[in-house]
Structure 1
Amino acid sequence: MNLTSVDELFETDASREDKQREKVLDIPLSKISDFPNHPFKVKADEAMLEMADSVKQYGILVPGLVRTKADGGYEMVAGHRRKKASEIAGKESMPCIVRELNDDEAIVAMVDSNLQRESILPSEKALAYKMKLEAMKRQAGRPSKEDNYSQLGNNFSTKTSSDELAVQTGESKNQIFRYIRLTELIPPILEMVDEKQIAFNPAVEISYLTENEQTELLETMKQEENTPSLSQAQRLKKFSQEGRLSTDVIYSILTEEKPNQKEKFNIRRDRIDQYFPKNYNEKQKEDLIVQLLESWYKKRQREQER
């Protein structure tokens, strides 16, 4: 039998409420670990440096959200950028709200807090939607295969987790599924989507290719300095599903002339790469070629004027 302690007997309702109320604690940064598989990138870019300057002057104005870890310390749920800014600013601790959350509650809170940002990369949204949707299914006790990640969505008569996520995010179920498809891309191609080198819709179609096929496509895109249009990506997907997508087919589709495509002037890499420093990227090579051509053109003009 559990006996009530003396302290509990004389405890007031106000003191009980105060115990349950969340408090802001100043927690050492060394005791806060990052959220596992955190889908949102934390970069030391210009915006981060500006945030670090603000933290130096005013401190952290909005506390982070953490949960306690079974083995001690805390796990960051919301506030990874604030933590990074604090580290850059030379701070040793930051204010945080400590909240008891299970894994799925923590995932939902982590995703929701980050989706409020103005600028979110396609890869971040893709991974975040996938993590939250799977967490919502587990919370509702729904099977993991309840929704299938197709571009066409589904027509279930009962409300599903994807229905709820669509309402919460303001995006259609089909669009959510399209974002989640991006998680099937190999990392280098997903990065190309983030950098706007490959458009969103073609990227969704490419995600249906196998890992080996995507690797072959990546190599061909690099060699030809070209990316597939939507119609080309759809054909790549069709050949893949039919088991007929080979390196030759990828090359043939990628190098065909697109409608309204401007004529390109191409130079084989093996003819010019030997003349550049090994650490030169494509932009530096292009700039140097243009500078040399300008110098040659001016010299030619001077010779003609003599």
Structure 2
Amino acid sequence: MSSKGISQRIKLQSFDDMFDTEENNEVADLGVKPVDGQIVEIPLSELHTFKNHPFRVVDDENMEEMVESVKEYGVLVPAIARPRAEGGYELISGHRRKHASELAGKDTMPVIIRDCDNDEAVVIMVDANIQREDILISERAKAYQMKYEAMKHQGVGGGLSLQEMSDQAGESMKTIQRLICLASLDNKLLDMVDEKKLSLRQGVDLSFIPQEQQLIVYDVINEMNVSLSLEQSARIKEASRKGYLNADFLRDYLSEKKPKPRKVVFNQKKLDNYFTPDMSNEDIEELIVKLLDEWKEKGEPR
């Protein structure tokens, strides 16, 4: 099946389709099974969290504003859910709206019923949330990993999956690929990425080592209260690959005096002359280093 075919199968209804037809505007009788695509009022107690849902639901300022809106106007955009074999419905999209409804004292919320399989549900869930501005790197990583696996199950090859995900999200394939790698990082190290104590590239380096060694890395760097450089994370990855990574090696290696870091800042306008807007900071850095390596190999004077 082509990637285009999958997108068409899981394409959400337009607002005209959702709200303008008499059939879709019916409030379902709880004793009658809703039809696929119908908007119905579902009791909040019947809506269950999506399995392995990667996105947080937090009581922040945005949630307070949503609660006030729900109190005054109700839920304006229906959630999406699918029937569960064991009863009730599994929320695909709308976890924050459900929480806001609970805080607002509501008993029900409008929901679009979708009859879809696990892989289709994952793709819808990720696409409905990935463009939010307030999501963490770890949430993006886990979401992209779930969508990538779902698309593979649908028969889309790895390269095509990454290309389609890149086109839909507006992120480079390399960034998405790195985020998918990052999803295999231990949660403690993932938290450090979210807290910017580790960069994305450092997190990707550490994601290639076994889980038990990841925990050793976490324990040692916290014990020594040190931050890793890109060179050190790459060396740790190499030590794991060659079989000599352990706590003693890490303590000795991280105790070595590090050279004073150098930081070079480029003028944004100058960079815009050479790099396209869709390139991430990591892509730009990688390309600059590659060009410098080629320049060095040619024996150019320093």
Give the distance between the partners of 1:63 and 1:167, measured in 2 at CA. 26
Alignment match, 1:104: 119
Paired residues for 1:78-157 under 5 Å: 78-140=93-155, 142=156, 147=158
Alignment match, 1:63: 78
Q: What is the SS of the residue equivalent to 1:96?
A: strand
Is residue 2:49 matched to residue 1:34?
yes
Give the distance between the partners of 2:151 and 2:78, measured in 1 at CA. 26
Q: What is the SS of the residue equivalent to 1:250?
A: helix
TM-score of the superposed pair, with normalisation by structure 2: 0.71
Give the distance between the partners of 2:36 and 2:49, measured in 1 at CA. 25
CA contact (8 A) 1:25 1:98 kept: yes
CA contact (8 A) 1:136 1:161 kept: yes
**Residues 1-58 of structure 1: CA distance to partner in whole angstroms, max 9, x if unpaired?**
xxxxxxxxxxxxx999999783321110000001101011112223222222221222
Give the distance between the partners of 1:123 and 1:15, measured in 2 at CA. 42
Identity %: 44
Alignment match, 2:11: none
CA contact (8 A) 1:27 1:94 kept: yes
Letter in 2 for 1:67: R
**Residues 232-285 of structure 1: CA distance to partner in whole angstroms, max 9, x if unpaired?**
1000001110001121221123233333369xxxxxxxxxxxxxxxxxxxxxxx
Give the distance between the partners of 2:129 and 2:216, measured in 1 at CA. 34
Count the aligned residue pairs: 234
Letter in 1 for 2:125: M
Larger mean Cα displacement after TM superposition, 159-168 or 17-26: 17-26
Alignment match, 1:238: 238
Alignment match, 2:160: 160
Q: What is the SS of the residue equivalent to 1:26?
A: strand
Letter in 1 for 2:40: L
How far off its partner does 1:200 sit? 1.1
Alignment match, 2:278: none
Letter in 2 for 1:110: M
Regions of 4+ moved over 6 Å: 14-21
Structure 2 unaligned segments of length 5 or more: list them.
1-20, 26-33, 263-302
